[in-house]
Amino acid sequence: MTDRSPSAAAVTRLADRVHGYVQPDGSWYINNCGFVDAGDHTVLIDTCSTERRTRALLETVEAATGSPVTTLVNTHHHGDHTNGNYLVGAATIIGHRKTRELMVAEGIQTFEGIFVGSDWGELRSRPPEVVFDDRLTVHAGDVTLELIHPGHAAHTTNDVLVWLAEQRVLYAGDLVFNGGSPFALMGSVAGWRKGLDVIRELEPEVILPGHGGPCDLSVVDTVDAYLRFVQETAERGKAAGLSPLEVAKETDLGEFASLSEQERLPGNLHRAYAELDGAEWGAQIDLVAAITDMLAINRGPIRCFS
């Protein structure tokens, strides 16, 4: 059996003083984080979904660097990347402007009745204090981190890539899933595909995805192929007069059958249908209807191991 406990997380060296914190198995609410060790200045990329996971993360980072976190960067607003923000103490939190707006508006969400099995612990919302719109440069000692918003909705409306040009390392957040099904319900299928071009233009040698192990650009191509598959499936379904759930039930996943979280397909199709109807990338759609269809194809609440 896969060990999904907080103790299964491992520090992976991505470059000199640049690390990933990889949590198996990368399924719902089990995300990756990263950190840059700049002596007395430690930059953390994302926190975790639960109190105990974030405490384990911070203990590991402090043991590895010898110093507490001084700066935290959030790659987007989803709770698996931000719920533990409040535990970083005096660190300054940086994120996209919409990350702050959404966290202020929504607070902590545990999606009762949708996910089962989570051990949330005590959680308090703490949105970013420093926000930006397009790009921001962070200097940690002699390490430079470029924070890049793709310019439009992708996985969400507020995704941030953390790019270390000298080291050729990219913290991709949830623009890249390695082994899991991409999830575009709160962003844009078409916008996400365009956002992947931003990653390709950077030409990273090492990518830390939001979920799954470190990878290279070949996984970006897999994500792109899956999103194209969602678009093509939506086009076929609409032409046949089928609902997102109906077309999801009859769809052969083919080369994507090995990806985890297959219940995301109807949610992705709801977003793709909206875009076929002319909705702007990242526009509000009926999330309740989409999640209801995800629960229907899953035949009940979704098992979560956070």
**pLDDT single digits (tens) 239-265:** 999 999 999 999 999 999 999 999 999
Tally Cβ neighbours within 10 Å of residue 205: 12
Distance CA(201)–CA(196), nearest Å, equals 9
pLDDT at 41: 92
Residue 284, phi then psi, degrees to nearest 5 = -65, 135
Closest CA to 129 of 161, 97, 174, 173: 97
pLDDT at 92: 98
Distance CA(205)–CA(215), nearest Å, equals 9
Tally Cβ neighbours within 10 Å of residue 46: 30
pLDDT at 230: 98
pLDDT at 61: 98
pLDDT at 1: 80
pLDDT at 279: 98
Helix (H) or strand (E) segment spanning residue 201? helix 189-202
Identify the structural domains of the chain with CATH numbers, from first to last: 6-229 (3.60.15.10)
DSSP assignments along 96-112, one per residue: EHHHHHHHHHH-----B
Helices 264-276/217-239 angle, 10° precision: 70
pLDDT at 10: 97
Evaluate if pTM is beyond 0.85.
yes
Distance CA(195)–CA(300), nearest Å, equals 33
pLDDT at 171: 99
Regions of the chain short of the pLDDT cut 70: none
Extract the tokens encoding 213.
């192990």
pLDDT at 222: 98
Instruction: Answer for the pair 128, 102: CB distance below 8 angstroms, yes or no.
Output: no
